[in-house]
Structure 1
Amino acid sequence: MSRFPTVAAFDCALANLSAPDRAAIAAARARQDQLTKPAGSLGRLEEIALFMAGWQGTPHPVIERARAAIFAGNHGCVVHGVSAFPASVTATMVANFAAGGAAINALAGMAGLDLKVVALDLDRPTADFTLAPAMSEAECLAALSAGAAAVDPDLHLLVVGEMGIGNSTAAAALCARAFGSTVASWVGPGTGVDAAGVARKIGVVDRAIARHADAPHSPFETLRRLGGREIAAIGGAVLEARRLGIAVVLDGFITCAALAPLAAAVPAITDHCLAGHCSAEPGHARLLDRLGLEPLLRLDMRLGEGSGAAVAVGVILAALAAHNGMATFAQAGVAQSL
């Protein structure tokens, strides 16, 4: 059954976000206070453990079943020369994912993540959003529902990522419309375009913003007019994870941009999210600031595919290993005052 059969269903999900379990957080914090270390000495690892406790509803959170959900889609705006690669590369990379040869295959395996790749109508790109909405209402709802369908209720953690030639242009457009500022401040090289390519991207996004200036500024309308199928699917997956109380690790600029129109209206949408890393795409640091997220890693990565988020899962696993595996002062026979 479609998770988002209507726009009203999407709006309702966004308006009724679940909250973390405060009692579980308090119990996890009490455990942290008894572990054989100076208070706060594990820094952010302690915060991650508390975060996971809140969303799992237990003072002893675990990651026994985790998934990397990678969504792929094609974009009509590529006709304007906004990418260093042709749109056909999207399908080629999806085939590479299936063959096990991509970075996300290796990194998901390292992190113990089940890899699920969802290709969304690759033979049917979105419309050129300088001329029309990228998606119809039905297309956007279908993409949102495809994202939700990739989330199983028994997951302990969800990593989201994307693949789609041209989608850094769509991401910049979403951020510019959702958060304002100059278009140039959101546009970057993406797949590696040169200065002339960046200038073309700025022009394309400027035209898209102008084309849709009179449209409603609701999360759904912004997403369908300026996003893409894979971007909308990420939004649907994040909303479904929130309904199920599953923590989410976001990847780079495009993945985070999927939440820009949602967060502009409902900032709490990111409360169950961790930013896996800050990518080398110039707009990502600015976007993370607007989303209220501090990245776990800064490795100058800019691949996409969920790769940075997959690497960050190792940090989360370390946080839970320390939280659950360390002895308390009483268990170790150590004086707490020392």
Structure 2
Amino acid sequence: MAPTFETLEAFAELMRTATGPDKVAYDGATERNGQLTKPPGALGRLEDLAIWYGAWRGMARPVLVAPQIVVFAGNHGVAARGVSAFPSEVTAQMVGNFQAGGAAINQLARTFGARMRVEALELDRPTADFTESEALGEADCVAALRAGWDAVDPAADLLVVGEMGIGNTTAAAAIAASLYGGGAEAWVGRGTGVDDAGLAIKRDVVAAGLKRHGSVRGLSALSAFGGREMAAMAGAMMRARIEGIPLILDGFICCAAAACLETEVAGALDHAVAGHQSAEGAHGTLLAELGKEPLLQLGLRLGEGSGAALAIGVMQGAVACLSGMATFAEAGVATG
């Protein structure tokens, strides 16, 4: 499906037209789950995940054979203010590492049989410093949303979106504070590992951005504070919704981008589960705001989509059990 939006309002209207899961498939998957050779509820959350997945795929006995991981990269003007432990040049260097297959996300993609795509978004043109103006503005935000939209393979049956962008935990904290309140103190963490002085700089920068832009919500927050990689993630997430592709959310930055969608149109993330809770301090708070319970909690804080990629294995296991296990009737096992 080609993108049909040229403005943020047109994108929001597209979001409002998105349909929900397949009720017939949901009922069929639920019925099958109740007949499998196990005590009721014995597989715990895996049972709910598999039924949820089947409903979004329109299959009572679903298969999961074509997961896709897309990693988006962008540079942030606010990074010049010293908010990261690393220089902006690292973004392009890590893109090269992704393309060469040397990053953590490459290993995880290979492990779980996911096809990986890397999209570098105008790395030579950082966003504006959000303490001085909108980071993106409408035209750049729409272009990045479209880039994310176009990066999704409609033939995929599960999507993970990851990111790389020096300074993007600062942008994510500003978005979260704008959407949910609490100020810089509630949302700013150490990101790449800044020291106390760096943490103070990040808080001051976020506070300055909030003072300039106020408490904007939805896509306006993405435009005011976000990076191209964050807007691209949002575009990819919405493409997945339109195509009926279940989505696994990654860490703090990914969830900040997702929160712009959810605060624009309630229910926009119904096709998504949270892959993990990262070690970035405010991620748990953000997940609570989104109403998402993480599948994993392993102390990760890498980004790249790594935590969500690990959760592909959980989803594969859930689907395999629902679709591959025998029913009591098929196995000839007595039920009581």
Report the counterpart of residue 228 of structure 2 in structure 1: 229
Report the counterpart of residue 91 of structure 1 in structure 2: 92
- The whole-number CA distance in structure 2 between the counterparts of 1:2 and 1:43 is 38
Shift of 1:2: 4.8
Question: Does 1:310 pair with 2:309?
Answer: yes
For 1:86-141, what per-residue CA distance to the aligned partner results, in whole angstroms no more than 9, with x for missing partners?
A: 00000000000011100000000001110001100001000000000001211110
Report the counterpart of residue 142 of structure 1 in structure 2: 143
TM-score by length of 1: 0.97
Within a 5 Å distance, the mapping from 1:153-192 to structure 2 comes to: 153-192=154-193
Report the counterpart of residue 31 of structure 1 in structure 2: 32
CA contact (8 A) 1:171 1:253 kept: yes
Report the counterpart of residue 291 of structure 1 in structure 2: 290
Q: Which runs of structure 1 show a deviation greater than 3 angstroms over 4 or more consecutive aligned residues? A: none
Larger mean Cα displacement after TM superposition, 90-99 or 323-332: 323-332
Shift of 1:8: 2.6
Shift of 1:161: 0.6
CA contact (8 A) 2:3 2:146 kept: yes
Report the counterpart of residue 245 of structure 1 in structure 2: 244
What is the percentage of aligned positions where both structures have the same residue? 53
SS of the residue 1:188 aligns to: coil
SS of the residue 2:282 aligns to: helix
CA contact (8 A) 2:217 2:263 kept: no
- The whole-number CA distance in structure 1 between the counterparts of 2:10 and 2:264 is 16
TM-score by length of 2: 0.97
Shift of 1:279: 0.2
- The whole-number CA distance in structure 2 between the counterparts of 1:218 and 1:316 is 31
Report the counterpart of residue 328 of structure 1 in structure 2: 327
Shift of 1:175: 0.4
- The whole-number CA distance in structure 2 between the counterparts of 1:327 and 1:222 is 48
- The whole-number CA distance in structure 2 between the counterparts of 1:323 and 1:219 is 36
Quick one: structure 1 residues 90 and 135, their matched pair in 2 at CA, closer, same or farther if it must change by over 3 Å? same
Shift of 1:6: 1.9
SS of the residue 1:96 aligns to: helix
Report the counterpart of residue 254 of structure 1 in structure 2: 253
Report the counterpart of residue 111 of structure 1 in structure 2: 112
Report the counterpart of residue 52 of structure 1 in structure 2: 53
Question: Residue type of the partner of 2:21?
Answer: P
SS of the residue 1:300 aligns to: coil
CA contact (8 A) 2:12 2:265 kept: no
- The whole-number CA distance in structure 2 between the counterparts of 1:199 and 1:267 is 34
CA contact (8 A) 1:4 1:144 kept: no
SS of the residue 2:34 aligns to: helix
- The whole-number CA distance in structure 1 between the counterparts of 2:183 and 2:88 is 27
- The whole-number CA distance in structure 2 between the counterparts of 1:68 and 1:3 is 23
CA contact (8 A) 2:219 2:264 kept: no
- The whole-number CA distance in structure 1 between the counterparts of 2:3 and 2:26 is 33
CA contact (8 A) 1:74 1:228 kept: yes
Shift of 1:17: 2.3
CA contact (8 A) 2:71 2:304 kept: yes
Shift of 1:234: 0.6
Larger mean Cα displacement after TM superposition, 256-265 or 305-314: 256-265
CA contact (8 A) 1:55 1:246 kept: yes
Shift of 1:3: 4.3
Report the counterpart of residue 18 of structure 1 in structure 2: 19
For 1:162-201, what per-residue CA distance to the aligned partner results, in whole angstroms no more than 9, with x for missing partners?
A: 0000000000000000111232111100000012211111
Quick one: structure 1 residues 189 and 3, their matched pair in 2 at CA, closer, same or farther if it must change by over 3 Å? farther
CA contact (8 A) 1:179 1:260 kept: no
SS of the residue 1:259 aligns to: helix
Question: Residue type of the partner of 1:111?
Answer: F
Question: Residue type of the partner of 1:170?
Answer: A
Question: Residue type of the partner of 2:257?
Answer: A
Larger mean Cα displacement after TM superposition, 9-18 or 284-293: 9-18
SS of the residue 1:117 aligns to: strand
Question: Residue type of the partner of 1:329?
Answer: F
Shift of 1:153: 1.5
Shift of 1:260: 1.7
- The whole-number CA distance in structure 1 between the counterparts of 2:107 and 2:217 is 38
SS of the residue 1:278 aligns to: coil
For 1:138-169, what per-residue CA distance to the aligned partner results, in whole angstroms no more than 9, with x for missing partners?
A: 11100000000011211101111100000000
- The whole-number CA distance in structure 2 between the counterparts of 1:8 and 1:252 is 27
CA contact (8 A) 2:261 2:269 kept: no
- The whole-number CA distance in structure 2 between the counterparts of 1:261 and 1:101 is 31
RMSD over aligned CA atoms reads 1.1
Question: Residue type of the partner of 1:48?
Answer: L
- The whole-number CA distance in structure 1 between the counterparts of 2:9 and 2:182 is 29
- The whole-number CA distance in structure 2 between the counterparts of 1:93 and 1:123 is 14
Q: How many residues align?
A: 335
